[in-house]
Structure 1
Amino acid sequence: MEADPVKPRVLVIAEAANPEWVSVPLVGWSLARALGEVAEVHLVTQIRNRDAILRAGLDEGRDFTAIDSEAFAKPAWALAEKLRMGEGKGWTMVQAINALSYPYFERLVWRRFGPEIARGEWDIVHRVTPLSPTIASPIAGRVARAGVPFVLGPLNGGVPWPRGFDAERRREKEWLSYLRGAYRMMPGRGGTLRHAAAILAGSRHTASEIPAAHRTRTVWLPENGIDPARFSAPRAAPEGGPLVASFVGRLVPYKGPDMLIEAARDLLEAGRMRLEIVGDGPMMPALRAEAEGLPVTFHGWRPHGEVQDVLARSHVFAFPSIREFGGGVVLEAMALGVPPLIVDYAGPGELVGPKTGLKVPCGTRPEIVAAFRAELTRLAEDRSGLYALGEAARARVAAEFTWSAKARQVARVYDWVQDGSGQAPEVMQG
């Protein structure tokens, strides 16, 4: 009988890792936990996540370490909240402030774990979050000099605003995004990439921004994943009646909920379509006024369980967002067998293929509205092909986008960096 392979000892650094939050903290938590299936993992995170991690059942000291970097993190967060000029806005500004405060966190990580790394007690050090490619790692060089592979990522972000959406860009308070390219000249970026044994790129765009000298060590691995236990509702879209489309997301300009209502107006007025909108945000009052008298239901924010119930009752997930880095909500719809209709740009465009959903070209606002109107009209007349798309979407998520699947993909990268030879592995089929 063959012995089970020895799992590598991996120190996972995820400054943002919280099972009770969403977005980046949930990605950090979910990937770190899944990596425990393929490695002996110890999670290092920021102290604000400590209580939630304890409630999740982990043992402090054995399973995770909470680093208290609040001396820098707390005032930096307060400053970012003031400068972003509105809840959920100014994301680029938040990342810029984080880039200034984050190095202190890693210095404290090194103070705690540096001696262990130098003694060879860890086979791999993997920094999972921050996801932003603009934030350098002060300890990457120290880890590499200790002879331990340093894995960076998945990195994602910085998708350019498409042409014709400057008004939406300004409404999102993204003034600093005009200067985002300057991050390439920030101290520490070159050294971080140079000392990384592997760089996980969460999008093709991010991979394209990695300097050519480091591309042979860059692996495409979208950062989002699905917990099958959270998204398991049986598909229950009605066989007859009007086309049922759903939208899930913050009600902000770049997500395009107003474009969706405009595109669907004729169908809604004719009773040939019904629209379910899950989410909240500054556009809610204007959207309610725009949809007055139409068969549009505004659900507001809902827990995951209720969100999946709304999605499962839909024929199509209509999501005309023009600037998604990852597109996790698209995967959630696909996991339920609901085919997405998306703009072919950035994260969603990479997740959806011709056999798993529907895509329209990324153009100006009138062009996107017209393209969505045409697709929705076609589906209202004949939705017979949606079931096959949905089943293919569900199968792809199960094969490549559960957190367990992503852990296996990362395990191939771990094997490669420990072997130290050959070409970086292709871990995704798409």
Structure 2
Amino acid sequence: MTARLRAVILAPHLDAHDVGESLTRFRLVEELAKLADLTILALECTKGPPLSEQLPNAEVVTFEEPEWLRRYERMRAMFRPNIFYVARFAEQWLRNSLSKGRTWDVAHQILPAAPRYPTIFRKFDIPYIIGSLGGALPTPKAFAKECGSASWYTRLRGLDQARFRYDPWLRSSYGAAELVLGVAPYMNEVLKTVPKKRFEPFLAIGVDSIEPQVERQVVPDSLKLLHVGRAVRTKGLRDVVRAMGHLKDLSGVTLTSIGGGEEVAICKAEAENLGIADRVQFLGKLPREEIEKHYLESDVFVFPSFRESMGGVLFEAMRWGLPIITVNAGGPGFIVDEETGLKVDLTDPEKMPRDLADAIRQLLADPLLRGKLGEAGRQKLLTEQLWRIKAQEMLKLYSSVKRSG
């Protein structure tokens, strides 16, 4: 019987009761623990039960986050001091364990997802993986004016490229890694100045299941468009509203927006100015069960987010068999292919809405194409994006960097 692979994983936060990267990496680790012997080094959970209870199939070593770090939530979110805190104690624990004869086949810094943090694993003789890394997408120059000015701490991200070129700890972290994972191929370009042995794209999102196939009623000259996402400029809602302005001759095409934020008021005014306010409804933030209902009742999911590292809502739409219209950039450009949706080029606030309108016209005129794209999306999730399948893929990557003998 072949011995199970042994991996030590560093993740500042893993929690099934959290959101975002803490939740998605938890789901991956949870499935991985069924396939390999995992040692998890992390901060103790603050939102859910102890991590050891949430991951009973893994060896869990947690470190308590100091109260003063939890007290200053804004500072904690901006500068992530807890990352350095957990790294310090994880390094001590790892040194002590290795001195006692413990061994692992592979190490994996699975979080943080931002690419600006070095890893303690560069200090040890264990083959290691970093990632999946994401973020770091700049605002396209053509859209910068409409996106407003970035906050001072957001502008600090502009230092990343300088650090990639000159920071010895960061460069050695990437240079010594056997494998660097990115949430989409664009991350290889972001990290182009960093020495790397090997880069692979690995989407750090997945699904537990998909919905049953839906037979949507085809109503001639009618199309229900759906946009779901936080109402900020980068999510592309304004571009979809402007696209509706190019479809005034198609009174049966409607748009529903779900998500709250400062962009809602701007888009409402835009719809009024374009004379399409009667065909666009802004529902704001809704409970999950209501959002699912709108996925079921819609015909096409339109999500031209132009600074999106992944795009979990795309998976939500694909679960319901919705064809997708998105932008060929970042995570959406990687997730959606010609089998599952239509992609427009990332151009400018004038041309992109026209291109979106053309894509909408194409799907309105071809119900068979809508059904084909939607079903291909469901199948893509079934064959590639279930969490258990993602875990199997990660195990193969672990095996590919494990030293022989």
TM-score by length of 2: 0.88
- What is aligned with 1:102? 83
Q: Choose the corresponding residue for 1:224, options 205, 213, 233.
A: 205
- What is aligned with 1:64? 60
Between Structure 1 and Structure 2, how many residues are aligned? 396
- How far, CA to CA, are the matches of 1:219 and 1:59 in structure 2? 27
Could you list the per-position Cα deviations for residues 116-165 of structure 1 after superposition, in whole angstroms to 9, with x for gaps in the alignment? 2442343322111101111111x112332xxx222211112212322301
Does residue 1:162 correspond to 2:140, yes or no?
A: yes
Q: Choose the corresponding residue for 1:386, options 370, 383, 397.
A: 370
- How far, CA to CA, are the matches of 1:305 and 1:42 in structure 2? 36
- How far, CA to CA, are the matches of 1:55 and 1:114 in structure 2? 22
- How far, CA to CA, are the matches of 1:182 and 1:238 in structure 2? 54
- What is aligned with 1:22? 19
Q: How many angstroms does 1:411 deviate by?
A: 0.9
Asked if the contact 2:235–2:306 (Cα under 8 Å) also holds between the matched residues in 1, the reply is yes
When residues 172 and 273 of structure 1 are mapped into structure 2, their CA distance, relative to the original with a 3 A threshold, is: farther
When residues 349 and 59 of structure 1 are mapped into structure 2, their CA distance, relative to the original with a 3 A threshold, is: closer
Does residue 1:240 correspond to 2:244, yes or no?
A: no
Asked if the contact 1:168–1:254 (Cα under 8 Å) also holds between the matched residues in 2, the reply is no
Q: Choose the corresponding residue for 1:201, options 182, 188, 198.
A: 182
* Counterpart residue type for residue 4 of structure 2: K
Asked if the contact 1:246–1:276 (Cα under 8 Å) also holds between the matched residues in 2, the reply is yes
- How far, CA to CA, are the matches of 1:188 and 1:72 in structure 2? 27
Structure 1 residues 28-427: aligned runs within 5 Å = 28-47=25-44, 49-54=45-50, 57-58=53-54, 63-70=59-66, 73-74=69-70, 77-79=73-75, 94=78, 97-98=79-80, 102-118=83-99, 119-137=101-119, 139-144=120-125, 148-173=126-151, 174-184=154-164, 185-210=166-191, 214-228=195-209, 231-232=210-211, 234-235=213-214, 237-240=216-219, 242-265=222-245, 267=247, 270-291=250-271, 293-419=277-403
Asked if the contact 2:137–2:330 (Cα under 8 Å) also holds between the matched residues in 1, the reply is yes
Q: What is the percent sequence identity of the aligned residues?
A: 23
Asked if the contact 1:153–1:200 (Cα under 8 Å) also holds between the matched residues in 2, the reply is yes
Q: How many angstroms does 1:309 deviate by?
A: 2.7
Structure 1 residue matching 2:281: 3-state secondary structure? strand
Could you list the per-position Cα deviations for residues 155-194 of structure 1 after superposition, in whole angstroms to 9, with x for gaps in the alignment? 1221232230112443453433444322313341112113
When residues 354 and 66 of structure 1 are mapped into structure 2, their CA distance, relative to the original with a 3 A threshold, is: same
* Counterpart residue type for residue 46 of structure 1: L
When residues 68 and 103 of structure 1 are mapped into structure 2, their CA distance, relative to the original with a 3 A threshold, is: same
In structure 1, runs of 5+ residues without a counterpart are 82-93, 422-430
TM-score by length of 1: 0.83
Asked if the contact 1:247–1:276 (Cα under 8 Å) also holds between the matched residues in 2, the reply is yes
When residues 278 and 53 of structure 1 are mapped into structure 2, their CA distance, relative to the original with a 3 A threshold, is: farther
Asked if the contact 1:133–1:156 (Cα under 8 Å) also holds between the matched residues in 2, the reply is yes
* Counterpart residue type for residue 13 of structure 1: L
Give the RMSD, CA atoms, in angstroms: 2.8
Q: How many angstroms does 1:205 deviate by?
A: 1.7
Q: How many angstroms does 1:269 deviate by?
A: 7.8
Asked if the contact 2:324–2:342 (Cα under 8 Å) also holds between the matched residues in 1, the reply is yes
* Counterpart residue type for residue 263 of structure 1: A
Asked if the contact 2:208–2:386 (Cα under 8 Å) also holds between the matched residues in 1, the reply is yes
Q: How many angstroms does 1:50 deviate by?
A: 4.4
* Counterpart residue type for residue 181 of structure 1: Q
Structure 2 residue matching 1:125: 3-state secondary structure? strand
